[in-house]
Homo-oligomer: A and B are copies of this chain.
Amino acid sequence: MAAAAAAHEPEVIRDKAAMRAWSRRRRAEGKAVAFVPTMGFLHDGHLSLVSAAVAAAAGPVSVVVSIYVNPSQFAPTEDFATYPSDFAGDLRKLAATGAVAAVFCPPDLYVRGSAGHPTASASGGAASCLEEAGGHAHETWIRVEQLEKGLCGSSRPVFFRGVATVVAKLFNIVEPGIAVFGKKDYQQWRVICRMVRDLDFAIEIIGSEIVREADGLAMSSRNVHLSCEEREKALSISRSLVNARTSVLNGNNHGQQIKDQIVQTLTEAGGQVDYVEIVEQESLTPVERIDRPAVICVAAWFGKVRLICWNFWVIKRSK
């Protein structure tokens, strides 16, 4: 029995070169490498990405999950320092899936410079927790200049720059043929798809649907910071989105009216709205009249927790 359990235990890899060599060995054996990047503190949403990775491969597949809290996607004012972690728990959960071959958990992914020699960013003066850490030598940034604007990009100016850059680094280290991202972070998923297309990464990107708790709350590592009361209030997000969808399906195509209703629901529940937007699914440009495939994106604060980019599909209204 012990041997059977050990067979499912993922290999833990901390070194970039070792990770790349591992991946190349798998490919040489004829296996696809499917990659699930995470920041850890895993929940069933993450585990559904692992299932999606297995399902996406046409033949034998080795699934790699990375766990790395990326400093460059957090502004100094954000929650990098308090981002939750539980490495032992994460490993247990991944082992229990029986589907994860390796866990990549590098101590750091960036070349750091000498302290006291901070490097200002040329990207409109935006700086992340990487830059704030006392100067660094990393200076290459990838920006997806249209899709990074608006929605989460407005209130989190370094976020998508940091995400695109670290994902490109991870792609170059893990060298997967498939990578899976959750659609809960809808804008992030679109940014990654665009980057892969524009930079010709030979990687198939899979977008995986939102996984919700029984009560409707979308799963997120940040939910752990919600008090019972805040959590109850946060259910107003899914509730308002369900109502909005019903409204659209019933023939209401007035974007502003639908957004106003969501804002009202969230505000009445005690949430502080960052944004409520209805946008085209591919371009993320605002839609005023809902007459094409669109998505509603919501970000709101409940207590000290910003529940980002919770979204819900609005399908094209049938005529």
Contacts and interface: CB of A to CB of B under 8 A. Distances in A.
A153 to B, nearest CB: 10
A148 B164 CA distance: 20
Closest 3 CB pairs of A and B: A140-B198, A122-B145, A172-B200
Contacts of A164: 140
Given A122-B124, A124-B122, A198 B145 contact: no
A140 B172 contact: no
How many copies of this chain sit in the oligomeric assembly? 2
Contacts of A165: 199
A168 interface: yes
Interface string A110-147: 11000000010111100000000000001111111111
Nearest to A149: B122
A19 B195 CA distance: 20
A2 B146 CA distance: 53
A140 B20 contact: no
A202 to B, nearest CB: 6
Interface string A185-217: 000000000110111111000000000000000
A199 B168 CA distance: 7
Given A111-B197, A168-B199, A121 B145 contact: yes
A20 B172 CA distance: 16
A145 to B, nearest CB: 4
6 contacts: A111-B198, A124-B124, A141-B142, A141-B143, A168-B199, A169-B200
A16 interface: yes
A194 B140 contact: yes
A277 interface: no
A173 B146 contact: no
Contacts of A198: 110-111, 138-140, 169
Contacts of A123: 143, 145
A175 interface: yes
B122 A172 contact: no
Given A139-B145, A140-B198, 7 more contacts: A111-B198, A122-B124, A123-B143, A140-B144, A140-B164, A141-B142, A172-B200
Kindly name the residue among A124, A147, A165, A202 whose own CB sees the greatest number of chain B CB atoms within 10 A: A202
Contacts of A143: 122-123, 140-141, 143
A146 B119 contact: yes
Interface string A94-114: 000000000000000111000
